[in-house]
Structure 1
Amino acid sequence: MAKPSVPDPIMQEAMNYACGSGADCDSIQPGGPCFQPDTVFAHASYAFNSYWQRTKSAGGSCSFGGTAILVTVDPSEYSITSTPCPVLQ
């Protein structure tokens, strides 16, 4: 997931990399099921997870230049939205 202390412009750059390098970012586009909450942090967390799930078997990295952290608990379970976006499996 995205590291909360990273400034939005840097997070956006890392998210752009993830989305352009294998992550499925359709769900975080306007109208997508994971667009809300509409924050760089939430969208980057989704993109980073998507990238990791799709590339880990081929040796994909998951730090995104220090903008991401590994978590052991599904953060969507603690979402403040009424319908949390599921973490990709």
Structure 2
Amino acid sequence: MSRIFLALLLFMFVTKISVNGQLEEWCIADEQTPDNELQVALDWACGKGGADCSKIQKDQVCYYPNTVRDHASYAFNNYFQKYKKKGGTCFFNNAAMVTQVDPSHNSCHYEYMP
């Protein structure tokens, strides 16, 4: 019985559930995707994709860490949150993945929209 309780307690700490009862999900760069592929997807997301990439520009709150992977994660998530209710996905030519762990760090906040 105590194992089940501990497992449930751990699940509750790891998984965030929004006010309306849905699991909170963010879109981030897949760790296995090479930087050159992430850069292509990042360029699309910030360009034709319509993501707001202003916060990953130099001297902005999400510029650091200054890596393609971190910038792509921010842009992918911004696009995903903005367009998921209109059919937008977290795919980016297989360069991204969905996570239930909030990727926000320091003062860089990754948006979540139910």
**Structure-2-length-normalised TM-score:** 0.70
Residue equivalent to 1:13: 40
Structure 1 segments unaligned to the other structure (5+ residues): none
Residue equivalent to 1:60: 88
* Sequence identity percentage: 45
Contact in 1 for aligned 2:42/2:76 (Cα 8 Å): yes
RMSD (Å), alpha carbons: 1.0
Structure 2 residue 71 is matched with structure 1 residue 47: no
Residue equivalent to 2:109: 86
Contact in 2 for aligned 1:22/1:55 (Cα 8 Å): no
Higher strand share: 2
Contact in 1 for aligned 2:61/2:107 (Cα 8 Å): no
Q: Distance in 1 between matches of 2:83 and 2:46?
A: 12
Superimposed CA distance per residue, residues 9-66 of structure 1 (whole angstroms, 9 cap, x where no aligned partner): 1100001111111110000010111000000000000000000011111111211010
Q: Distance in 2 between matches of 1:57 and 1:23?
A: 15
Q: Distance in 1 between matches of 2:85 and 2:103?
A: 22
Aligned pair count? Answer: 84
Contact in 2 for aligned 1:14/1:65 (Cα 8 Å): yes
Structure 1 residue ranges, 4+ long, deviating more than 3 angstroms after superposition:
none
**Structure-1-length-normalised TM-score:** 0.89
Q: Distance in 2 between matches of 1:53 and 1:26?
A: 16
Structure 2 segments unaligned to the other structure (5+ residues): 1-27
Alignment of 1:63-78 (within 5 A): 63-76=91-104
Higher helix share: 1
Larger radius of gyration: 2
